[in-house]
Amino acid sequence: MAEMHVSVITPDGTIFDHREKAVNAQTTYGGITIMPGHMPIIVPLAIGELRVTRITESDDSENYIAVSGGIMEVEADQINIIANTAERSRDIDLDRAENAKKEAEASMIRARDAKNKIEFNRARVALAKAVNRIGVSEKRL
Ligand code: ATP
Which pLDDT value is given to residue 58? 65
- Residue pLDDT, tens place only, 24-77: 999 999 999 999 999 999 999 999 999 999 877 666 689 999 999 999 999 989
- Residue pLDDT, tens place only, 44-53: 999 999 999 9
Q: Which of ligand 1's atoms lies nearest the C-alpha of 130?
A: 6
Ligand 1: lining residues by beta carbon, under 6 Å: 12, 68, 85, 87, 91-93, 96-97, 100, 126, 129, 133
Which pLDDT value is given to residue 57? 66
Three-class SS of residue 59? coil
Residue 141 Cα to ligand 1 midpoint, Å, equals 20
Q: Which of ligand 1's atoms lies nearest the C-alpha of 93?
A: 28
Three-class SS of residue 64? strand
**Is 138 a residue whose pLDDT tops 70?**
yes
DSSP for residue 57: S
Check if the beta carbon of residue 82 is closer than 8 Å to that of residue 67: no
Residue 52 Cα to ligand 1 midpoint, Å, equals 21
Which pLDDT value is given to residue 3? 85
- Residue pLDDT, tens place only, 74-114: 998 999 999 999 999 999 999 999 999 999 999 999 999 99
Q: How far apart are CA 25 and CA 45, in angstroms?
A: 7
Which pLDDT value is given to residue 122? 98
Beta bridge partners of 73: 42, 80
Q: How far apart are CA 25 and CA 125, in angstroms?
A: 18
Which pLDDT value is given to residue 60? 65
Using CB atoms within 10 Å of the CB of residue 130, give its burial: 0 to 12 exposed, 13 to 18 middle, 19+ buried.
buried
Q: Which of ligand 1's atoms lies nearest the C-alpha of 104?
A: 2
Which pLDDT value is given to residue 44? 98
Which residue has its alpha carbon closest to ligand 1 atom 13?
85
H/E stretch holding 100: helix 94-113
Check if the beta carbon of residue 69 is closer than 8 Å to that of residue 49: no
Which pLDDT value is given to residue 39? 95
Task: Provide the 10 A C-beta neighbour count for residue 10.
Answer: 18
Which pLDDT value is given to residue 140? 74
